[in-house]
Amino acid sequence: MIRAIYPGSFDPVTLGHMDIIRRASKTVDELIVGVLNNGGKTPLFTTGERVRMLEEVTRDIPNVRIMSFSGLLVDFARHTESNLIVRGLRAISDFDYELQMAQTNRKMNPDVDTMFLATSLEYAYLSSTTVKEVAFCDGDIREFVPAPVPELVREKLRELQAQS
Ligand code: PNS
């Protein structure tokens, strides 16, 4: 039984994340999408909102489960009895950080391995940060994120504007 974790901030989930989720879910028995409950960063969406968003967009994939986590990824892996971490690599610029993270994680928990999937070419340029930047500037993000997300981002930006 291979249970894997696909960890990330998913603030918000993009089509690039969806590509990795779909492909990884075909290669393992169970895929847990681990939503980081960011300590340092201030995300646009709360952890609960990101979890619900991911639940909605992965509803049709039976072996995918969404969970949030705080603290170390390797502790979350231990807690969920997962033996694999999945990460997407978009470009060589991702590699340094990802390799360092994989090696540090393996040092801390030798039972956990990291598997890299090369992001599909059509999503290689995509990041949640860019999506947010486009949305903040009133741009159309429908090509970058799955169906309910553009509306959720719009609502969130309206909320923030009303508060300021
Ligand atoms: O979406 P991101 O920001 O690329 O995700 C990064 C993530 C969540 C995979 C990474 O920040 C992480 O694993 N954080 C948990 C804390 C941890 O275990 N850090 C040590 C790894 S070397």
- The structure's pTM equals 0.96
Cis peptide before 43 (omega within 30 of 0): no
- Spell out the residues 6+ positions from residue 8 whose beta carbon is closer than 8 angstroms to its own: 17, 33, 34, 35, 36
Residues with CB under 6 A from ligand 1: 7-9, 36, 72-73, 101, 104-105
pLDDT, tens digit, 9 for 90 and up, residues 62-71: 999 999 999 9
Q: Return the ligand 1 atom nearest residue 100 CA.
A: 22
List, as one string, the DSSP characters of 77-92: HHHTT--EEEEEE-SH
Compute, in angstroms, the gap from residue 164 CA to the centroid of ligand 1: 31
Alpha helices by DSSP H, listed for the chain, are 15-27, 47-57, 73-79, 92-108, 128-136, 149-163
- Backbone angle region of 73, left / alpha / beta, with phi > 0 → left and psi within -120 to 50 → alpha: alpha
Band (38; pLDDT cuts 50, 70, 90)? confident
For residues 98-127, give the mean pLDDT: 97
Q: Give CA–CA dist 140/151, Å, rounded.
A: 11
Q: Answer yes or no: is pLDDT of 48 > 80.
A: yes
**pLDDT above 90 for 164:** no
Ligand 1 atom 7 nearest Cα: 8
Ligand 1 mean position, distance from CA 141 (Å): 25
Answer whether residue 41 shows pLDDT above 80: no
Task: Establish whether 26 is a catalytic residue.
Answer: no
Check whether 40 has a pLDDT greater than 80: no
Q: What is the pLDDT of residues 3-35, one digit of tens each?
A: 999 999 999 999 999 999 999 999 999 999 999
Structure confidence at residue 81 (pLDDT): 98
- What pLDDT is stored for residue 86 in this prediction? 98
Centroid of ligand 1 to alpha carbon of 10 (angstroms): 11
Q: What is the pLDDT of residue 30?
A: 98
Residue of the nearest CA to atom 12 in ligand 1? 73
Q: Is 90 known to be catalytic? A: yes
Provide mean pLDDT across the span 99-126.
97
